[in-house]
């Protein structure tokens, strides 16, 4: 996205605040609640950002408002497209894909009468999704799915955006889909299974366990449908991976491994399956786990987990230069404080073992504790390092607590997620 473009309003926080409030107001209009106190409150909130908009920005938000109002308009058949109009619409899509979202919205609006209503709503939804304005995208995908309920892409985008905007509503929708999976495309069912599984995964009560057990037959049915349809790509791989995850959450580890193996027999290079199987095997069949992680890296994965586990494996093998190499990649890819804390601790231990600067090692330990201040193991290793600086004769090697394979595996099991 080019922030120097005068028509790129998305870098203006006042514009974005106004647009988001406008979307909230139209969501109330959809439910016939805009004249209630909640609607009045939103209109009042719009005054401040609205007063900060330029003339061009006001024209733009008026256009967006018209787009939203069009969701309630009678749906007329699209007019015939000429070659010139088709070329203009292609430019609109190209603008969306290159991040020129204002141009994309303007062009789609200009030629809206030449686009079938469901496709029009879908296109507008994808533009807002590109901007990561998921609440706005959701309104357009809702309309697209209403107008063309058998289009599996619209239904998938609808549940996917629901999961980002209103997780509770997404779970309700997912549960409805799972109850009647044959009424929905397998890709949609798989997304519903993902959402419902993760909603119950961390709950330890018996009811949640029974709910996850009930998912197993739906996973099997979905995989069968995908295989029967000739699916051999990433969606089928995700189905096997999520099914394996579900079995793992029920402590049925042999069954989980069987699903990972089955998936990899069909899609041998799938990084999610390689990582899932590697995490499951780490500490049990570590040699095979390391092979899976190395294979994922060889395939060019951008997931942090193969590097994370190989960093730890190198650490406990006293291969400190390899540990630092993997840790450096982990620092770039890590997505949670827990991961960063572990990686920085291992880097500090490696630097100490390689004789690096004491100031550097102290700084790395300090950073690790910043990310996970309650981590007892990091605190112990930090203290062991500080104790080693005291003059003692003869010099005593530091006895590091490097964490066993099981404790590192538990981090992966807790934080690795698969998205359908």
Q: Which of 158-172, 226-240, 380-394 has the lowest mean pLDDT?
A: 380-394
Q: Is 257 helix (H, G, I), strand (E, B) or coil?
A: helix
77 sits in the region (left: phi over 0; alpha: psi -120 to 50; else beta) called: beta
* Residue position matching structure tokens 């999961």: 163
Q: Which of 60-64, 68-72, 73-77, 391-395 has the lowest mean pLDDT?
A: 391-395
Q: What is the mean pLDDT of residues 199-221?
A: 89
With 0-12 / 13-18 / 19 or more C-beta atoms within 10 angstroms meaning exposed / middle / buried, residue 100 is buried
Token representation of residue 83: 């070659």
Q: What is the mean pLDDT of residues 104-110?
A: 94
As a whole number of angstroms, the distance between CA 187 and CA 373 comes to 41
Closest of 221, 277, 219 to residue 248, by C-alpha: 277
Closest of 20, 379, 9 to residue 165, by C-alpha: 20
* Confidence category of residue 10, pLDDT binned at 50, 70, 90: confident
Please name the residues in contact with 383: beta carbons below 8 A apart, sequence gap of 6 or more. Answer: none
As a whole number of angstroms, the distance between CA 63 and CA 110 comes to 10
As a whole number of angstroms, the distance between CA 311 and CA 240 comes to 27
pLDDT at 346: 98
* Confidence category of residue 394, pLDDT binned at 50, 70, 90: low
pLDDT at 226: 94
244, 279 contact by CB (below 8 A): no
Q: Answer whether residue 174 shows pLDDT above 60.
A: yes
Q: Is 360 helix (H, G, I), strand (E, B) or coil?
A: helix
Q: Answer whether residue 6 shows pLDDT above 60.
A: no
As a whole number of angstroms, the distance between CA 86 and CA 70 comes to 22
246-262 tens-digit pLDDT: 999 999 999 999 999 99
259-311 tens-digit pLDDT: 999 999 999 999 999 999 999 999 999 999 999 999 999 999 999 999 999 99
Rounded to the nearest 5 percent, the helix, strand and coil shares of the chain are 75, 0, 25
Closest of 28, 19, 27, 26 to residue 49, by C-alpha: 19
Q: Answer whether residue 3 shows pLDDT above 80.
A: no
Q: Which of 39-53, 173-187, 200-214 has the lowest mean pLDDT?
A: 200-214
96, 130 contact by CB (below 8 A): yes
| 350-354 contact pairs (CB < 8 A, 24+) | 350/315, 350/320, 350/321, 350/323, 350/324, 351/320, 351/324, 352/385, 352/388, 352/398, 353/318, 353/320, 354/320, 354/321, 354/324
As a whole number of angstroms, the distance between CA 192 and CA 174 comes to 4
H helices of 229-270, in order, are 234-249, 253-266
pLDDT at 7: 59
With 0-12 / 13-18 / 19 or more C-beta atoms within 10 angstroms meaning exposed / middle / buried, residue 336 is middle
Q: What is the mean pLDDT of residues 99-113?
A: 93
296-349 tens-digit pLDDT: 999 999 999 999 999 999 999 999 999 999 999 999 999 899 999 999 999 999
Name the average pLDDT for the chain.
93
pLDDT at 4: 40
Query: In this prediction, what percent of the chain has a pLDDT beyond 70?
Result: 97
Show the domains of the chain with their CATH numbers. Answer: 1-161 (1.25.40), 311-415 (no CATH)
As a whole number of angstroms, the distance between CA 188 and CA 192 comes to 6
pLDDT at 133: 95
């Amino acid at each position: 996205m080019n922030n120097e473009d005068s028509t790129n309003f998305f870098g203006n926080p006042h514009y974005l605040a106004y647009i988001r409030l406008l979307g909230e107001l139209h969501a109330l209009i959809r439910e016939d609640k805009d004249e209630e106190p909640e609607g009045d409150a939103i209109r009042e909130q719009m005054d401040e950002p609205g007063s900060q908009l330029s003339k061009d920005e006001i024209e733009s938000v008026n256009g967006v408002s018209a787009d939203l109002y069009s969701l309630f308009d009678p749906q007329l058949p699209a007019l015939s497209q000429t070659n010139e109009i088709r070329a203009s619409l292609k430019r609109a899509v190209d603008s969306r894909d290159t991040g020129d979202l204002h141009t994309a919205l303007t062009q789609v609006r200009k030629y809206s009468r030449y686009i079938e209503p469901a496709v029009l709503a879908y296109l507008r939804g994808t533009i807002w999704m590109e901007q990561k304005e998921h609440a706005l995208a959701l309104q357009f995908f809702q309309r697209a799915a209403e107008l063309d309920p058998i289009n599996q892409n619209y239904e998938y985008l609808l549940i996917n955006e629901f999961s980002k905007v209103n997780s509770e509503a997404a779970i309700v929708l997912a549960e409805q889909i799972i109850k009647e999976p044959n009424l929905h495309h397998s890709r949609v069912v798989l997304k519903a299974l993902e959402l419902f599984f993760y909603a119950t995964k961390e709950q330890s009560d018996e009811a949640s366990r029974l709910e996850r057990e009930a998912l197993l037959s739906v996973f099997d049915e979905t995989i069968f449908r995908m295989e029967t349809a000739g699916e051999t790509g990433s969606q089928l791989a995700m189905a096997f991976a999520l099914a394996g995850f579900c079995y793992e959450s029920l402590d049925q580890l042999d069954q989980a491994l069987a699903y990972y193996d089955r998936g990899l027999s069909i899609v041998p290079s799938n990084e999610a399956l390689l990582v899932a199987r590697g995490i499951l095997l780490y500490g049990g069949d570590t040699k095979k786990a390391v092979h899976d992680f190395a294979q994922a890296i060889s395939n060019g994965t951008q997931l942090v987990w193969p590097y994370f586990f190989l960093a730890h494996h190198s650490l406990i093998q006293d291969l400190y230069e390899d540990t630092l190499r993997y840790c450096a990649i982990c620092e770039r890819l890590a997505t949670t404080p827990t991961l960063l804390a572990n990686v920085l601790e291992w880097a500090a231990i490696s630097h100490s073992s390689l004789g690096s600067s004491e100031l550097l090692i102290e700084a790395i330990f300090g950073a690790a504790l910043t990310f996970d201040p309650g981590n007892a193991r990091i605190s112990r290793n930090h203290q062991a390092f500080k104790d080693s600086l005291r003059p003692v004769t003869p010099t005593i090697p530091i006895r590091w607590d490097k964490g066993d394979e099981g404790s590192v595996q538990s981090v992966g099991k807790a934080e690795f997620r698969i998205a359908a």
